[in-house]
Amino acid sequence: MPNTGSATIAGTTVPDLGIPYESCLTEGNPEPCIIVIFGASGDLTARKIVPALYNLYLNNGLPDSFIVIGCARTKLSDQEFRDKMKKFLSAAGTLDVSKWESFAQFLYYQAIDYKGPSSFSALSEFLWKLDKKHGTAGNRIFYLAIPPSLYKSTAQMLGMAGLSLEGEKKKGWSRIVVEKPFGRDLDTAIDLDRSLHEHFNEHQIFRIDHYLAKETVQNILMFRFANSIFEPIWNRRYIDHVSITAAETLGVEHRAGYYEQAGVLRDMFQNHMMQLLALTAMDPPSVFEADRVRDEKVRVYRAMRPFPTGDLDDYLVLGQYGAGSIDTKSVGKTEKKRVPAYRDEPGISPDSLTPTYAMMKIFLDNWRWQGVPFFLTSGKRLAKKRTEIVIQFKEIPHSMFRQTLEEHILANRLVLGIYPDEKISLTFQTKNPGARVCLRSVTMDFHYHQNYTGPTLDAYEKVLLDCMLGDHMLFWRQDGVELCWSFLTPILTECEICATREDALFTYDSGTWGPKAARDLFKNR
């Protein structure tokens, strides 16, 4: 019998529509294809992309005919590439040797010169050869797991080699996957887009944001629009404010070169935080289709009120972590570990003014959200790793208990936990048992994986599967990218040219929740 979830109501078990777990895992059958990974010798390929493809293979999520080709400057044989990927999977403890051998036969490797036309011509010939051998029908995905500085030249080389063609001129389809960042400001984002569109059409471009593929992020739309009880109160009449937090305990780690140029605003706010804002604030689309959903997100971005750049302190707090202590787990117990300040990290300038923390107060000028502040917060070396959306409802307009209650009646709160607690929590007031009228706050919790024992797809597995299916639901569209950069670029410019830039960058101890100025901004909402 297929394994299904269930809920218990008044002692009666109610099945979840009788849908087997397995039928929810993947959607449709991907067409045969070749997946070409540029940057195959890098960390992203070994840690995320190949393990995701391997897990899809184990869960029957890949086409019957598929090939994976790793491409990088490093010279490797097919077997050396396979052995390298196997080593990473073994270290992660996720390797089934016999199944790996079955999967690994579809892995190939081709050394590439990212600026060499002849190198891409050789790749084209290799692809046609594998097409004929494995029956992949001329369908290709080009995954750019490379530094952003190589995006433009790689897209150009693919176009010059005829690898972007599809339709009448070529059998099969061609798609290109681009990792963030999509530029570093509005001008560079437009320039990158122009370069991609010289050879690829918009429907061929998949701008990946793996945050969108997290199950609990996808669940935001289901929670909002598949349940009738919340939508009538999801607006300025009932909601006091919204907090969206993405906190990390990690420091800059091995990304010093990138992070010094990006900072928290470019690293987190232009992509992940803006997507969470849109999912929380958007209106319901007429139908659950990629472009209809993305249309509604774009309307949210258009409604963002521009910051008065001469008065940023009322809307933005920036911080940089200093030395401190963070919690680490060791042999089943939690211990404190001393960590250095950002400026003392390897590869970081000792007088760096790069922010590692930001709290931003955003207003949406539309009918639904007028006057409701959205607090977006993200930072490194904070007290806990936590990603959540908190909907704080307004207090009751009039208390009929004012003559009998001494305590203040707290407003309702809804928490959408994304990581590590994948749950939904609703806080409300009830009476304490006893003769006196006393209130207490209680929380009703739903844990996302409760009563579910089936397999799941992680974020990279989901986006790779959707790319094979040609589904843009979880990918950025260019107008959304440009609108977010239009909002952030004036803020970034003002911060970077500000004469008092150092004074506006607050230091906070590692292992805390950020600078005091952020708490003051929140209190003065």
The answer to whether position 182 is within a domain reads yes
Eight-class DSSP state of 345: S
How many other β-carbons are positioned within 10 Å of the β-carbon of residue 43? 11
Q: Are residues 87 and 167 in the same domain?
A: yes
How many other β-carbons are positioned within 10 Å of the β-carbon of residue 174? 23
The answer to whether position 462 is within a domain reads no
The answer to whether position 471 is within a domain reads no
- Identify the CA nearest to 429 among candidates 477, 393, 466, 457: 393
Contacts of 151 (CB under 8 A, 6+ apart): 144, 178, 192, 195, 196
Give the Cα separation of 456 and 476 in Å (integer).
23
CATH number of the domain encompassing residue 334: 3.30.360.10
Residue range 43-98, pLDDT digits in tens: 999 999 999 999 999 988 999 999 999 999 999 999 999 999 999 898 877 788 88
93-96: Cβ within 8 A, 24+ apart? 94/51, 94/54, 94/55, 96/58
Q: Are residues 203 and 347 in the same domain?
A: no
pTM given for the model: 0.90
Q: Are residues 220 and 204 in the same domain?
A: no
Q: Are residues 71 and 158 in the same domain?
A: yes
Check if the beta carbon of residue 208 is closer than 8 Å to that of residue 465: no
Give the Cα separation of 497 and 439 in Å (integer).
52
The answer to whether position 135 is within a domain reads yes
Q: Are residues 186 and 219 in the same domain?
A: no
CATH number of the domain encompassing residue 83: 3.40.50.720
Q: Tell me if residue 472 is catalytic.
A: no
The answer to whether position 467 is within a domain reads no
How many separate domains does the chain show? 2
Q: Which of 208, 234, 269 is the last residue of a domain?
A: 208
Q: Are residues 324 and 391 in the same domain?
A: yes
Q: Are residues 197 and 219 in the same domain?
A: no
Q: What is the full per-residue pLDDT of the chain (525 aa) written as tens digits?
A: 344 444 444 444 444 544 455 555 666 689 999 999 999 999 999 999 999 999 999 988 999 999 999 999 999 999 999 999 999 898 877 788 889 999 999 999 999 999 999 999 999 999 999 999 999 999 999 999 999 999 999 999 999 999 999 876 668 999 999 998 899 999 999 999 999 999 999 999 999 988 888 888 989 999 999 999 999 999 999 999 999 999 999 999 888 989 999 999 999 999 999 999 999 999 999 999 999 999 999 999 999 999 987 788 999 999 999 999 998 877 677 888 999 999 999 999 999 999 999 999 999 999 999 999 999 999 999 999 999 999 999 988 877 776 666 667 788 999 999 988 889 999 988 877 876 777 778 899 998 877 777 777 888 999 999 999 999 999 999 999 999 999 999 999 998 887 677 888 999 999 999 999 999 999 987
Q: Are residues 145 and 231 in the same domain?
A: no
Give the Cα separation of 155 and 169 in Å (integer).
18
Q: Are residues 204 and 219 in the same domain?
A: no
Q: Are residues 306 and 360 in the same domain?
A: yes
Q: Are residues 226 and 123 in the same domain?
A: no
Q: Are residues 197 and 233 in the same domain?
A: no
* Structural domain that includes position 315: 215-457+477-523
The answer to whether position 431 is within a domain reads yes
Residue range 143-190, pLDDT digits in tens: 999 999 999 999 999 999 999 998 766 689 999 999 988 999 999 999
Catalytic residue among 197, 272, 449, 472: 272
